[in-house]
Amino acid sequence: MVVARSQTDGIAGKARPALRKPSEAPLSVERREALRAELLEEIPSWYVPWVHLFVPSSIGIAAIVVALSWIRDLHPAELLTVPAVYLLANAFEWWVHVNALHRRNPLAPVLYDQHTPRHHMLYLTDDMAMREKREYRLVLIPGYGLLLIFLGQVVVSSGLWWLGQPNVACLWVATSIAYAVSYEWLHFSYHLPHDHPVSRNPVIRKLAHHHAVHHDPRIMQRYNMNVTVPLMDWVMGTSVEEAPPR
Ligand SMILES: [Zn+2]
Ligand SMILES: [Zn+2]
């Protein structure tokens, strides 16, 4: 529908080139409903929400189990790989969110197109919940994207294996893939209805609030850029408790 496209700088970049600066004004309820209808209409008929939710994550969990089963004669110092990779992944998550999800990078424009004009225009701080299961496609990372992330970790860690550090390589794979799966499931849980049992968990509620504040279009380009635990937001000074009052 033209109504939605005119404010969302070209959904998926198909209708028209992306504007340099995304709109900081939230869409009206009517325009958001039009956008929701348009995005749902674009979802192919073969899409199965539960497959999208469980299959890529299950492949990731299987890879973690295999990687851990390959560890032999573990030295305690090698366990430092786990916090090191976690912190690295947290910093990478922040960096990608700032530089590829909220800025159109010519190397991967799809990241911006899926995130800023679609995900952010549809879900706002006060209205974060998915309304139906087909909306999983508007929240979850595409399945092929998650599998590419897993594959990338296997490639990186094979270098560590080649350098004579097989246990570090296995712990790298296990930690980085666990991080990617946790990103997927945490972000999914933030977009569940408020009365869902998962949403009522105090830890999830706290993390979900951090992400909901990020969904205010006025600050989405700059603040609360971590989606999992906001460690890098604290380091970079990009964490805010609330969006400024309107
Ligand atoms: Zn979100
Ligand atoms: Zn964002």
Structure tokens at 63: 């890879």
pLDDT digits (tens, 9 = 90+) for 79-91: 999 999 999 999 9
Distance 205 CA to ligand 2 centre (A): 18
Distance 164 CA to ligand 1 centre (A): 40
Where are the chain's structural domains? 2-236
- Give the alpha-carbon dihedral of 185, 99, 59, 154, to 10 degrees: -140
Note the pTM of the prediction, 2 decimals: 0.89
Q: What is the pLDDT of residue 11?
A: 41
- Give the alpha-carbon dihedral of 109, 110, 115, 118, to 10 degrees: 110
pLDDT digits (tens, 9 = 90+) for 32-91: 999 999 999 999 999 999 999 999 999 999 999 999 999 999 999 999 999 999 999 999
Q: What is the pLDDT of residue 183?
A: 98
Distance 111 CA to ligand 1 centre (A): 13
Where are the strands (E) in 78-164, listed by range? none
pLDDT digits (tens, 9 = 90+) for 196-221: 999 999 999 999 999 999 999 999 99
Q: Identify the nearest ligand to the CA of 101 by its number.
A: 2
CA nearest to 143, candidates 54, 215, 52: 52
Report how far residue 149's alpha carbon sits from residue 169's, in angstroms, rounded to the nearest whole number: 16
Q: Identify the nearest ligand to the CA of 225 by its number.
A: 2
Phi, psi (rounded to 5 degrees) for 177:
-70, -40
Mean pLDDT of 178-198: 97
Q: What Cα–Cα distance (Å) separates residue 149 from each residue in 106, 134, 137, 145, 223?
A: 19, 23, 18, 6, 24
Can you tell me which residue has the tokens 């946790």?
A: 182
Q: Identify the nearest ligand to the CA of 187 by its number.
A: 1
Distance 85 CA to ligand 1 centre (A): 24
pLDDT digits (tens, 9 = 90+) for 124-161: 999 999 999 999 999 999 999 999 999 999 999 999 99
Predicted confidence (pLDDT) at residue 194 exceeds the cutoff of 50: yes
Predicted confidence (pLDDT) at residue 17 exceeds the cutoff of 80: no
Mean pLDDT of 99-110: 92
Q: Going by C-beta distance under 8 Å and a sequence separation of 6 or more, which residues neighbour residue 224? A: 210, 211, 213, 214, 230, 233, 238, 239, 240
65/16: higher pLDDT: 65
Predicted confidence (pLDDT) at residue 3 exceeds the cutoff of 60: no
- Alpha carbons within 13 angstroms on the beta-carbon side of residue 7 total 18
Phi, psi (rounded to 5 degrees) for 50:
-70, -30
Predicted confidence (pLDDT) at residue 5 exceeds the cutoff of 60: no
Report how far residue 44's alpha carbon sits from residue 128's, in angstroms, rounded to the nearest whole number: 23
Distance 96 CA to ligand 2 centre (A): 10
Distance 153 CA to ligand 1 centre (A): 24
Mean pLDDT of 154-183: 96
Mean pLDDT of 12-25: 53
- Give the alpha-carbon dihedral of 96, 141, 59, 229, to 10 degrees: 50
Distance 187 CA to ligand 1 centre (A): 6
Burial code (b: 16+ CB inside 10 Å, e: under 16) for 102-124 equals: bebeeeeeebbbbebbbbbbbbb
Distance 74 CA to ligand 1 centre (A): 38
Q: How far is CA 214 from the centre of its chain?
A: 12
Band of the pLDDT at 122, cuts 50, 70, 90? very high
Band of the pLDDT at 21, cuts 50, 70, 90? low
Q: Identify the nearest ligand to the CA of 138 by its number.
A: 1
| Residue 24: Cβ within 10 Å count | 11
Predicted confidence (pLDDT) at residue 1 exceeds the cutoff of 70: no
Q: Identify the nearest ligand to the CA of 208 by its number.
A: 1
